[in-house]
Amino acid sequence: MSEHIETLTIRRPDDWHVHLRDGAMLGAVADFTARVFARAIVMPNLDPPVTTPEAAAAYRARILDAVPKDSGFTPLMTCYLMEDTDPEVVARGFADGAFAAVKLYPKYATTNAAYGVNDVRKVYPVLDRMQAIGMPLLLHGEVMDADVDIFDREALFVDRVLGRLLADFPALNVVLEHLTSAAAATFVRDHQTGREGRLGATITAHHLHITRNALFEDGFRPHMYCLPLAKREEDKRALRAAATSGESAFFLGTDSAPHAVDAKEADFGCAGVFTAHAALELYARAFAEEEALDRLEAFASLNGPAFYGLPPNEGRVRLVRDDTPISESIDVEGRAPVRPFFAGQPVGWRVETENGDHAQAGRTAHGGEARPSGS
């Protein structure tokens, strides 16, 4: 089942959750995001993490240095929440535009989450201040209790932590990031209205395409390892239903998370799937399979800005059917390459941007290496 629409033009989208990293990795991946997306919420889980307005401004400048000057790309920076974060620092960063939001990682939940939050009550003074000034809280929604099955971490977070948080901070704007379970999608749908603050959720491209089976297809597949883990088929179906529903609570956030192949293919391998090279194309593939391409613009370009109180972008991008395979690897200067999602396979679409010169980024006809054009 797949819609036979050959081309689709939508408003230029935004990526409301992305990892751009730093240094050589930033140089290798930033253009993939900037060529398509006008704005991106940039995750702060560097090492050391981004915790001050000054660090966010410096990181923002490095990102702008790494993307083509004509990309029209705006990074929106986030503050990494720690148990001893000072509410004044957060409020100052929001007031002067250095921070767009605060990101809460449960301690040890994922990459560079060692400085994260163990006891949510310890950050209540920060949340109180954020509620007062209208600053959004972005949640990595997993409980980390040792006795909880890793596939149940998200559903139990929603059950044990999120409901309580929303009740204690009725006016706080909250995004539950990278939904992976039917339980979380249902929770967001049921709680998006009825309180003063907004509740939204991002959905990644890869969670619309894989289930946990992908981790073990003909052997262990470290490049399918991300957190939260992909769940069951019924969860994937629920995520597809949410993304294609057109409901304003659900919007695009790739969680594109590049790691060099030697960090993925290792004991203690890193969590993260890299999708920025074909992100909008991967969403288009899922929406076409659901015969919902007419809802892609709401999900990719309208619902996110509405949540963040920003205008939608004026530019347009065009999706065109294209069966060229994704390249096998993305070069990183001086380091091992990154293996892109769908490596060696066609996604079925390519994006044409208004300046038209980035259309083949991340793809080669022969499945060899590719670099983002313009870098």
Nearer to ligand DOR, 140 or 198 (CB): 140
* Per-residue mark of binding to ligand DOR, 153-182 (x: CB under 6 A): ------------------------------
- Give Cα separations from 109 to 228, 266, 299 (angstroms): 9, 19, 27
Name which position in 64, 148, 263, 271 contacts ligand DOR (CB under 6 A).
271
Name which position in 51, 71, 78, 110 contacts ligand DOR (CB under 6 A).
110
Nearer to Zn ion, 45 or 71 (CB): 45
- Going through the chain in order, the beta strands assigned E by DSSP cover 7-11, 15-18, 39-42, 74-80, 101-104, 137-139, 174-176, 199-203, 250-252, 316-325, 329-332, 335-338, 346-352, 369-370
Tell me the closest approach of the beta carbon of residue 105 to ligand DOR, in angstroms. Answer: 7
Tokens 């490095």 correspond to what residue? 62
* Strand partners for 78: 101
Burial 289-326 (b: 16+ CB within 10 A, else e): bbebbebbbbbbbbbbbebbeeebbeeebebeebebbb
Interface stretch with ligand DOR, choices 4-12, 31-39, 156-164, 268-276 (CB under 6 A): 268-276
The site for ligand DOR, by CB under 6 A, has a size of 12
Residue 193, helix vs strand vs coil: coil
- Give Cα separations from 104 to 57, 81, 126, 257, 336 (angstroms): 19, 5, 11, 17, 30
Nearer to Zn ion, 15 or 255 (CB): 255
The residues in 202-261 that bind ligand DOR, with binding defined as CB under 6 A, are 226-227, 255, 257
Tell me the closest approach of the beta carbon of residue 15 to Zn ion, in angstroms. Answer: 11
Using rule CB under 6 A, residue 45 touches ligand DOR? yes
The residue type found at 187 is F
Using rule CB under 5 A, residue 31 touches Zn ion? no
CA distance 370 to 347: 16
Name which position in 140, 198, 209, 264 contacts ligand DOR (CB under 6 A).
140
- DSSP class of residue 177 equals -
Q: Mind telling me the catalytic residues? A: 255
CA distance 273 to 251: 19
Tokens 């054009």 correspond to what residue? 373
Nearer to ligand DOR, 111 or 244 (CB): 111
Tell me the closest approach of the beta carbon of residue 107 to ligand DOR, in angstroms. Answer: 13
Name which position in 31, 247, 255, 290 contacts Zn ion (CB under 5 A).
255
Tell me the closest approach of the beta carbon of residue 90 to ligand DOR, in angstroms. Answer: 21
Residues that bind Zn ion (CB under 5 A): 255
Residues that bind ligand DOR (CB under 6 A): 19, 45, 110-111, 140, 226-227, 255, 257, 270-272
